[in-house]
Amino acid sequence: MSVANTNDERMLADNSHPGDKTALSRHAPLHLVSNTPKGRGIFAGQDIPARTVIDTCPVLVLDPQENVAHIEKTSLYHYTYNWPLPGGKAGKTQAVVFGLGSMFNHSTQDQNVGWTRDLEHQLIVYRALRPIAEGEELCISYGDHLTFVDADAPSSSELPIEQPEDVFAGLEVEMG
């Protein structure tokens, strides 16, 4: 990364666009645990009330051609989220999410974190979907098309007889 002090960079450093600031709130304490059956995962360090903002993560929206030609051939593909094409164009691409957004694992039955895209600011905001107890893993839903064997998948004897219809309500799902 260049550290040259150009006029443009000085303008950014001077914070000359205060009206366009977005607060980057993150709930604390959270723990990164490295040896779970799902690899690394995020765990609550204390009880978290429902609707709490867990994190606000900037994203890098990928050029769709670059994504297909390069990113999809790398392990980064397992970290990207579906993202609408910028400028209101029809179709979708992928986005790299910075911060905790790339560390949330998937849970089929018990996702406790929901996420919403802020297209204008190229952000994702993560919120607690219900009260989360200290020590619980924070999980989102990646949707139905998983690219791995789900470590949380219920055995057939554990499957509920009836699924509530609104179990995924409020979630925007599907990772890359």
Ligand X SMILES: C[S@@+](CC[C@H](N)C(=O)[O-])C[C@H]1O[C@@H](n2cnc3c(N)ncnc32)[C@H](O)[C@@H]1O
- Name the residues that contact ligand X, by CB under 6 A: 38-41, 78-79, 102-103, 105-106, 148, 150-152
Whose tokens are 């995020």? That residue is 42
Whose tokens are 């690899």? That residue is 39
Closer to ligand X by Cβ: residue 34 or 87: 34
Structure letter (DSSP) for residue 17: -
- Considering the complex, what minimum distance in angstroms separates the CB of residue 152 from ligand X? 5
Closer to ligand X by Cβ: residue 11 or 153: 153
Q: What is the 3-state secondary structure (H, E, C) of 59-123?
A: EEECCHHHHHHCHHHCHHHHHCEEEECHHHCCCEEEEEECHHHHCCEECCCCCCEEEEEECCCCE
- Considering the complex, what minimum distance in angstroms separates the CB of residue 12 from ligand X? 30
Closer to ligand X by Cβ: residue 41 or 114: 41
| Cα→Cα distances 144→14, 101, 136, 147, 153, Å | 45, 19, 23, 10, 12
Classify residue 91 as left (phi > 0), alpha (psi -120 to 50) or beta.
Answer: left
| Residue whose Cβ sits closest to ligand X | 39
Closer to ligand X by Cβ: residue 106 or 127: 106
- Considering the complex, what minimum distance in angstroms separates the CB of residue 77 from ligand X? 9
- Considering the complex, what minimum distance in angstroms separates the CB of residue 148 from ligand X? 4
- Considering the complex, what minimum distance in angstroms separates the CB of residue 122 from ligand X? 18
Closer to ligand X by Cβ: residue 49 or 135: 135
Widest distance between CA atoms in the chain: 65
